[in-house]
Structure 1
């Protein structure tokens, strides 16, 4: 089991590192499209209507909706299974293992939010974006780590991964609690019944993915109609997937589904999301745009808040003896990792769309803040770690 857990961890890192490169390419393409003669076609593509109906009941929406509410539900389904696996057999399986990344993640969510609130305290509409700088992008952060090769101690990689997983869980909770509206009790009840069916399937030893996929689709539809953001359904369904192998099986259904879906998530879903959401037009922008409360709050929250929150929480609780430093790591390296946590990007962009659904000018301001804060965090984090950590032997 230990060997399988290590192999799964290494596979995750490799996929996320490669996915980070594809993500960067998709972002560059989006920026090129939105700042070239292709801008009109780019925005027209994202607004093309798509309708799907069965037996007279259906869902319609632009391409942008299907990317953010349907494809991202699959992403969160994969994230949910990763969280479950970490809780059962990984770096979150005991308080001794989980204490430091949990505390660091909480500090890394709280301080950026407080910085954003302090910057935008006089603007009630802008305050809706308080959660934007609280997120960490796993793919980009792991991608930067991969550039450093063997310099990074394995325990430090595991710490960053566990912290980012907890950060994703925190984002899911924030989305469910603060970005739900017009709740439908009937739709939520139907979604709950679907979850109960999934739990019964699990309990009865069903190990085929088909029933879980069909019932999971039903749960997604119900959550979509309920007023809770549809991506929450992905995590709820993930919690019901069997995590133990059936009779005569080597791998559990959850392991098989992660193995099958993770490449699609890393190399298709997240790049498509980045392409659809990173298209910031620089045509009418100036340096003064960075002074906008939303842009400034997001940029400072990611670049400054993450460093203070993550490193400060680690320092306090390690000095108190509650947690222990990752093996082979020292404070300069911990600082570098804390800086990398300021790469918010895809998750921050996702929360920005939820925070300002009817204010595109604030979405653009948040995109600018996300770009500046994330790029600054990536560059500083990389150089801090490169010059503070010696080259390690690959043997």
Structure 2
């Protein structure tokens, strides 16, 4: 049951990856066409929302980032809780190597960025941008390039991307909280506490949880803290126990029912509203500025070096074992796929460079360019590994 839920999550993420890429490509083409003013007019159009005393006006792009993306992080938080308590990561022996790989995927890209930006106060704070991995696109490339590779490889990639994205978002959300309104933050904490206590009520109506999520989000957006953190925190409060004998738990119900909408609607919409930028006024040499160079090299070199290098180190030190039936060449290919930052690095970069339009545009270009190259290299290595399996037979591994 646990393995089926894990693989179902992987398949949904894989299926949405191509849609994400198509949405981003459409945004880039539209932003550089004669109809570009309509694209930018759409994402910059302001939409007011008023519910009682709550009133807020944001652009379409900001609403997608601040109101829809937290739903993705809600599902991600629930998936992380499920995998650790009941899923593929509940075994310490299975958990050790992918966690070591995830640690490498966090440290090496961040250090790569800092090595190029440490003396640049304006951009040094963006070190978390190359730490994130776009799970959907990475899974899609793996499925297209090498569909017959063993399932443990997909679960390894899921673990690394899940851990790295959560840490990157939490770290960056905390670093760029801005002016924190402590009363609103206390209200969010109180609402989270009530959600956690409600977990003891096994037959609590679904509507109570939905209302609780909205209340936490409303307090958080008023507090100045990233609403992505509210999504993750809410996901961790959902109980994993069954509501009644023979029924799914609240967590698996929410996760299974919400994930397809997130994968096929929320993430593509975010890709569409965040990936579009005009080439006019920008040249390739701008990628050599410290911020985009740090992000690009962090994703393209830091990620595979960190993921593969720490996996190898963990195996040599006998801290963890390679996933069953998986080769080192396949793990290297997954290391490059983890360098596909795309929507997640765009999201983290939005938080880090939101007040610097030039750096934000440069970083956006670096994320897209590095993600495309990482996808090509990772896909080529995995396709090579699959052909090698076909020649030698799976029994040889």
Coarse TM-score class (shorter-chain normalised): over 0.9
Q: How many residues align?
A: 391
1:73 corresponding residue in structure 2: 70
Normalized against structure 1, the TM-score is what? 0.95
Normalized against structure 2, the TM-score is what? 0.95
1:30 corresponding residue in structure 2: 27
| Alpha-carbon shift at residue 374 of structure 1 (Å) | 0.5
1:215, 1:336 → 2: CA distance? 41
1:59, 1:146 → 2: CA distance? 41
1:166 corresponding residue in structure 2: 163
Distance 1:201 1:9, change over 3 A: same
1:158, 1:79 → 2: CA distance? 15
Could you list the per-position Cα deviations for residues 149-199 of structure 1 after superposition, in whole angstroms to 9, with x for gaps in the alignment?
443122111111111111122123213321212122211211111112112
2:163, 2:310 → 1: CA distance? 15
Root mean square deviation of aligned Cα:
1.5
For 1:11-50, what aligned pairs fall within 5 Å after superposition?
11-50=8-47
Indicate if the aligned counterparts of 2:94 and 2:323 stay in contact, CA closer than 8 A.
Answer: no
Could you list the per-position Cα deviations for residues 270-290 of structure 1 after superposition, in whole angstroms to 9, with x for gaps in the alignment?
000000000022223333122
Distance 1:379 1:98, change over 3 A: same
1:367 corresponding residue in structure 2: 364
1:381, 1:346 → 2: CA distance? 18
| Alpha-carbon shift at residue 37 of structure 1 (Å) | 1.2
2:244, 2:118 → 1: CA distance? 57
Secondary structure in structure 2 of the residue aligned to 1:222: helix
Q: Does 1:306 align with 2:303?
A: yes
1:353 corresponding residue in structure 2: 350
Secondary structure in structure 2 of the residue aligned to 1:203: coil
For 1:54-69, what aligned pairs fall within 5 Å after superposition?
54-69=51-66
2:87 corresponding residue in structure 1: 90
Q: Does 1:324 align with 2:331?
A: no
1:204 corresponding residue in structure 2: 201
What stretches of structure 2 of length at least 5 have no aligned partner?
none
Secondary structure in structure 1 of the residue aligned to 2:199: helix
| Alpha-carbon shift at residue 232 of structure 1 (Å) | 0.9
Indicate if the aligned counterparts of 2:14 and 2:143 stay in contact, CA closer than 8 A.
Answer: yes
For 1:1-395, what aligned pairs fall within 5 Å after superposition?
4-389=1-386, 390-391=388-389
Indicate if the aligned counterparts of 1:109 and 1:167 stay in contact, CA closer than 8 A.
Answer: yes
| Alpha-carbon shift at residue 249 of structure 1 (Å) | 4.5
Secondary structure in structure 2 of the residue aligned to 1:61: strand
Indicate if the aligned counterparts of 1:349 and 1:370 stay in contact, CA closer than 8 A.
Answer: yes
| Alpha-carbon shift at residue 139 of structure 1 (Å) | 0.3
